[in-house]
Amino acid sequence: MVRLKVDIIVVAGGTDPVRAAMNATKTIPIVMTGGGSDPVEAGLINSLARPGGNVTGITNLVGELGGKRLELFKEAIPKLARVAVLYDPANSRVVLDVKEVLPVAARALRLTLQPWQVRPADGFEKVFAAMGKQRPDGLYVPSGSARMRGIVGFALKSRLPSMYVSSTFVDAGGLMS
């Protein structure tokens, strides 16, 4: 592509293909399209605000935005103090978010997190019943779920404000994403 003197290189597929394009040229603009890794941490760009070099584009920072989501949730619901976090323990990325990213943000926002593990095949009803006894002020769901309608239905029935990572939950009746 460099020898063909293209005007721009669009790269999908994550860090490795972007790095290969970076190794091939320092002058042709490279646009990355939605990899799941942090491009700053991967060394692809200097910062999200000012990428520098010849690489720009979009990325899906699902976990890394967890703290910001909590911040927006607290801003929307000022009385928020206890937040139930519903997550699948088989999803290692989400487990990392729940155990490392969210607690830091929660402390800064003076929120108490109540983590609830639930596997898609499990009966959500038991988790919902136990969660209801803990009386959270809000529900945070850090990943998508095949049981979306059931989760949103529980939040609505329980009158729990809810924050999700996907707007499909909002389309189904959830409060915000």
Q: Which of 133, 61, 118 has the alpha carbon at shortest distance from 85?
A: 118
Q: Does 43 have pLDDT greater than 90?
A: no
Mean pLDDT estimate for the chain: 87
70 touches 163 (CB < 8 A): yes
Q: Does 36 have pLDDT greater than 70?
A: no
Mean local confidence (pLDDT), 130-155: 86
Q: What pLDDT, on the 0 to 100 scale, is given for residue 111?
A: 97
Strands 55-59 and 30-35: parallel
Mean local confidence (pLDDT), 106-132: 85
Q: What is the pTM of this model?
A: 0.70
166 touches 145 (CB < 8 A): no
User: C-alpha 113: how far from its chain's center?
Assistant: 16
| Domains along the chain with CATH numbers | 9-59 (no CATH), 64-171 (3.40.50.2300)
Q: What pLDDT, on the 0 to 100 scale, is given for residue 6?
A: 95
Q: What pLDDT, on the 0 to 100 scale, is given for residue 120?
A: 65
Q: Does 121 have pLDDT greater than 80?
A: no
Q: What pLDDT, on the 0 to 100 scale, is given for residue 173?
A: 92
Neighbours of 55 (CB within 10 A): 20
Amino acid code (one letter) for 124? F
Looking at per-residue pLDDT, the higher value among 123 and 138 belongs to 138
